[in-house]
Amino acid sequence: MRGMKGIRCVIIQGKRALVSWRFLAACLGIAAVMYTTGYPYLDESEGIVDAVGVWGFVRGTGIFIMTLAIFPLLPFSLSYAEEYNDKVLQFWSVRMGIKTYVGIKFVVASLAAGMSYAIGSLGCLLLYWIRVPLFLFATSGDAYAYLLEQDQVARYLIFLLIHFSLSAAFFSGLSMCISVYFPKKFAALMLPMVGYLFLGRMGSGLPRYLNLFGYIEGTVNAGTPAISLLLKLVITIILLLVLGYCTIEKAERRSQND
């Protein structure tokens, strides 16, 4: 019975996260921010440009962090703070246990964040492609550039989309973790980016593989594209497991105290 309640909860939470105006707004917001940032560089009179190159340039701008740490949080990462303030968490704690409920919510929020980034970013790339060729020559120096040099454009794009979707998932997990300590939507939305920028600046002199900026907004070359992506996946999973544990334990204690 508890297992069926868990499955039903996953379906309900998944629908709330993905079939919603917030998910659509997140995707459109990411696409709009990236497109408007790169739009001035789509003029072929300024030089030979392609969609992949402009897409890469946008990732190097200061505005890029918004597409990772703000918009992907909108679909579901603020849901704990909302439900806590609306006094509905107690209902779920009785039906299936607060730890199970918050754990499901944490996973769904992280997946929704990653998916919103991937869809929005891909949408932006397709809009670029309307104006300029998709790919002409490799100009990127990131960890997956080898794929472009081998004309494996689709694989390169898939690797990058997964890579930065993992960054968005990390911010979602961090946001939900913050929200159980400070159950206010504004804190859950803004503190992840503020904390990231603060810690990133402090570590700006460190090697790239130890720098938070390099992990979140950049790529770390681990030898091959596949190993580089695997490294990002493993690190993200470890961080999300730690954040998830802290989130669930704090939510349980808060539920008991309330």
pLDDT digits (tens, 9 = 90+) for 196-253: 887 766 666 666 666 677 788 888 888 899 999 999 999 999 999 999 999 999 998 8
What is the residue whose two structure tokens read 């206010």?
184
Count up the domains in the chain and report the number: 1
Distance, C-alpha 68 to centroid of its chain: 5
**What would the mean pLDDT of 90-117 be, rounded to a whole number?**
89
12 vs 146: CA distance, rounded Å = 42
CB atoms < 10 A from the CB of 39, how many?
Answer: 14
258 vs 256: CA distance, rounded Å = 5
Structural domain for 87, as ranges: 2-257
- Comparing 85 with 162, the larger pLDDT belongs to 162
Q: Are 14 and 76 in contact (CB under 8 A)?
A: no
What is the residue whose two structure tokens read 């997956």?
144
174 vs 177: CA distance, rounded Å = 5
Mean of the per-residue pLDDT values for the chain? Answer: 88
pLDDT at 47 over 70: no
Q: How confident is the model at residue 152 (pLDDT cuts 50, 70, 90)?
A: very high
Q: Taking Cα atoms as reference points, which of 219, 248, 24 lies closest to residue 140?
A: 219
